[in-house]
Structure 1
Amino acid sequence: MKIEFGYGNSVQMVEIPDRNLMAVLESNPFQHERRGRQAVEYALDNPIGAPLLENLVRKGQKIVIVTSDISRPMPSYEVLPGVLDRLYKAGISRQDITVVLALGSHRRHTEEEKRKLVGERCYQEVKCVDSDIEDCVFLRETKNRTPVEITREVVEADFRICLGNIEFHYFAGYSGGAKAIMPGVASYNAIQMNHRLMIQESSCAGRLEGNLLREDIEEAGNIVGIDYIVNVVLDEHKKIVYCTAGDVTEAHRDGCRYLDKMYRKVISSRADIVMVSQGGAPKDANLYQVQKALDNAKHAVKKGGRIILIGACQEGTGSKKFEEWLLEADTPHSMIERIGEHFELGGHKAVAIGMILENAQIDLVSEMPEAFVRHIFMNPQPSAQKALDEALEKYGENAKVLAMPYGGSTLPVVL
């Protein structure tokens, strides 16, 4: 069977023998009842675990709406108009509404980027600011000793609304919900303390209950107080196909269940060889982005197996700190030991790769120099087809191959 894997602005075509191919993992066939702003309005009309938004807020309250920064696919410009309309309906004045773009540890936005993220209408009507990692208020620590240090603008609001998109997250289980607060608008120190929990076995994609890191996020959210959420689920083209609104936990879990129906893929067993791609440009511009597909693929490969990672990475690693950790490591395991002693953002992505390398070989099809790829513990390959041919030669004529053309979206689960 011939399968296309997105690779930058082109594709890598691979022929996988039918006898070896276990499955091609793509999103489950799904009929979405509503899309875009229609889905948002329906969710706002039918909140989960909470009254209508316009019945919760009161005239004179200071309202903060926390939403995603430019590094996330969240289409805030489609969600914000409906939220603003509800607030105005309740008598909230424009002067009492602030949209805070959750930077986490990322760079600040230009004004033009803010305008693009929130949409022209919102940008003109209400105050739109970046979260400020340098101006945070300490509330208290979580039971895991994470300091709940949150951007002052958010802490001092009377009513907090969190927006976000829900997708699988490689250590928080899922994005969305309270993640807008921690790490979204938290201090650098708070983010580091929360993210240090990523090396726990429970911190993995698709898991909420018993996930220590996710529980830490939600405890922080409870300490701050999240009054309402509006979360969306996106398709492979980053378009809204579902929206959920209301209580921070109940509405979030509803969205997670919807995501599972779309992208959780049950497989009968793990494969000897997993071929995975982010789907091409712009999602495979660098290794930092491509790591997401790699991490989903780890759930499908046998111990001692091989992951063939297909991503152009024309911009290299995409993160200076991420690259430093990879280059400074003597072995993959040394990165895991290092982060246990001292957590650094950026380094955590390198550790995620190190944890995979403990169990499987990674062949990388990319535009990065071969010597560099070897230095970061991966095996460079000139093409996906050559990588597969070589892997089949090693694992034999009965080797099982799993294909994940949209690896960042699909989560394999062995039952």
Structure 2
Amino acid sequence: MTANIKKISLAFGSTGTEFEIPERNLASAILPSEFEIKEDRASLIKKALENPIKSRRLSEIVNPDSKVAIIVSDVTRPTPTAKLLPPLLDELYLGGVKDENITIVFALGLHRNQTEEESRKLVGEEVYKKIRCIQHDRKRCRHLGETSFGTPVEVFEEVADSDVIISTGTLEFHYYAGYSGGGKSVLPGVSSEKSIISYHSFYSKLFEGDPLSGRTDSPARQNIEEAARIAGLNFILNVVLNSKKEIVAAVAGDFIEAHRKGVEVVDSMYKVPVEPADAAIVSCGGFPKDINLFQATKSLENAVFAVKKGGVIVLVAECTEGIGNKVYERWSTECKTPDEAIQKFRKCFEFGGHKAATVGRAAKTFKLYLVSKLPDTESRNTFFTPVKSVEEALEKIFSENPDAKVHVMPNGGWTLPIMK
């Protein structure tokens, strides 16, 4: 009977997908704790800039001769940069800074370059016309020192040569750094390939330890913050988004203290107590979090906490740009089994290979299905079983266990299940 069937919509790329599930099989929808914001988003940002945490106002830090670098997120991140920049620029103007002394730098890390259209859309047409916008070049970096973890601090020279460095970004969970935001825009955001690989190489040492997502005390976060201090990061403006990608909180000021205040908001919204179920259906939350499999696996890493050992995870990720990393793609063809990927990762770190090992680790504990636009061969090579739809995955789950309880995670990239 239709009364016993629940229809559920999930984000898939820039559109969406729907499926039906018997209500008796639906354990829960794992959703963030949304809260109402009565003031407009521009006011939230302005208020954060006027009341910085453990810092002077930005307008008091700069002077009319200051050369300013503003680091912004690239196209793989959901940061609403076009909304952050106008109030941020107004604060700089209040301090006397001129447009010609400001440079906006897209933090690419090891990601691909953006198109001009993507860059223009990210910062907004008006800003793009009047402010110099450039992309991070990991081959043009200056050595500034070394962290206590042995990571060389090599920063894009356009940033290193600035008098004032400002970072913008979104605060959310991160599988390795604990959370995004803060100094992460410096390392790995605008660092050299050598620095980025050194930073990521610690993951092989921490890979089989306690989960790092949702923690601020991990070596990775400490490494990030040492590098940011050496680079001279002066000020951050970070925001927290709700499931509709709307700004619900903004923090500004010291790159550690302001970051931690934002983390408190993230935890209150996105850490969700759950009882592990037999299966979970997880959407990344749509574009850009499911732009490729490299990004989409971050949602898989959150979903594992919602499922019993031996259970099933169905990852719903469009992946229009394929696997998204050449090393990940190569490892996926070279490593025929999850164990091979894990053993290879233990012996030698290679950026991109860590994704093969991470998915391999999940595949040893759970049955993994993938609803995507990837060719079936690529899905299988990455240790997923390809399915055309969520319904097909559910048929397979219920054929083995008609009473299976299933969690649904519409915002897997944002939500971190915590065991009750």
Partner of 2:18: 12
| Cα deviation code 1:52-82 (max 9, x no counterpart) | 1111223322221111122222222211121
Residue 212 of structure 2 is matched in structure 1 by: 204
Shift of 1:315: 4.8
Identity among equivalent positions (%) equals: 41
Q: Of residues 385, 409, 412 in structure 2, which corresponds to 1:407?
A: 412
Provide the C-alpha distance between the structure 2 equivalents of 1:107 and 1:313, rounded to a whole number of angstroms: 15
Alignment map for 1:136-215 (pairs within 5 Å): 136-199=141-204, 200=206, 201-202=209-210, 204-209=212-217, 211-215=218-222
Letter in structure 1 aligned against 2:180:
S
Q: In the alignment, what sits opposite 1:218?
A: 225
1:104 equivalent in alignment to 2:109 = yes
CA deviation digits over 1:81-120, x for unaligned, max 9? 2122111211223332222111111223344433322223
C-alpha displacement of 1:244: 0.8
TM-score (normalizing by structure 1):
0.91
Q: Distance in 1 between matches of 2:26 and 2:320?
A: 29
**Partner secondary structure for residue 12 of structure 1:** strand
Alignment partner of 1:31 out of 29, 36, 55: 36
Relative to structure 1, the CA distance from residue 35 to residue 26 in structure 2 (aligned partners, 3 Å threshold; closer, same or farther) is farther
One-letter amino acid matched to 1:215: Q
Q: Counterpart in 2 of 1:134?
A: 139
Aligned partner letter, 1:152: E
Query: Mapping of 1:83-98 within 5 angstroms?
Result: 83-98=88-103
Check the 8 A contact 1:11/1:280 in 2, yes or no: no
SS of 2:414's equivalent in the other structure is coil
- Specify the alignment match of 2:58 in structure 1: 53
Determine the C-alpha separation between the residues in 1 that align with 2:332 and 2:125.
41
2:76–2:289: 8 Å Cα contact kept in structure 1? no
Query: Which one of the candidate residues 229, 251, 256 is aligned to 1:249?
Result: 256
Contact 1:35 1:240 in 2 (8 A): no
Structure 2 counterpart of 1:67? 72
Gapped regions of structure 1 (runs ≥ 5)? none
1:76 aligns with: 81
1:281 and 1:67 mapped to 2: Cα distance?
18
- 1:57–1:345 CA distance, 2 compared to 1 (3 A): same
| Alpha carbons of structure 1 residues 227 and 308: separation in structure 2 relative to 1, 3 Å | same
Query: How far apart, CA to CA, are the structure 2 residues paired with 1:133 and 1:147?
Result: 13
Which runs of 5 or more residues in structure 2 are unaligned? none
CA contact (8 A) 1:177 1:249 kept: yes
Q: Tell me the amino acid that sits aligned with residue 24 of structure 1.
A: A
Query: Quick one: distance in 2 between partners of 1:86 and 1:275?
Result: 44
CA deviations 1:267-297 (Å, max 9, x no partner) are 1x32221121224566545423432221210
> In structure 2, what is the Cα distance between the partners aligned to 1:223 and 1:97?
21
CA change 1:253–1:321 in 2 (3 A) is same
RMSD: 2.2
With 358-367 and 253-262 compared, the bigger mean Cα shift is at 358-367
2:265 counterpart residue number? 258
Report the alpha carbon displacement of residue 182 of structure 1 after superposing the two structures with TM.
Answer: 0.3
**Displacement, 1:364?**
2.1
TM-score (norm 2): 0.90
In 2, Cα distance between equivalents of 1:280 and 1:53: 34
Are 2:327 and 1:327 aligned? Answer: no
Seen in structure 2, the aligned counterparts of structure 1 residues 221 and 356 have a Cα distance that, compared at 3 Å, is same
Contact 1:197-1:203 within 8 A present in 2 as well: no
Cα gap change, 1:286 to 1:100, in 2 (>3 Å): closer
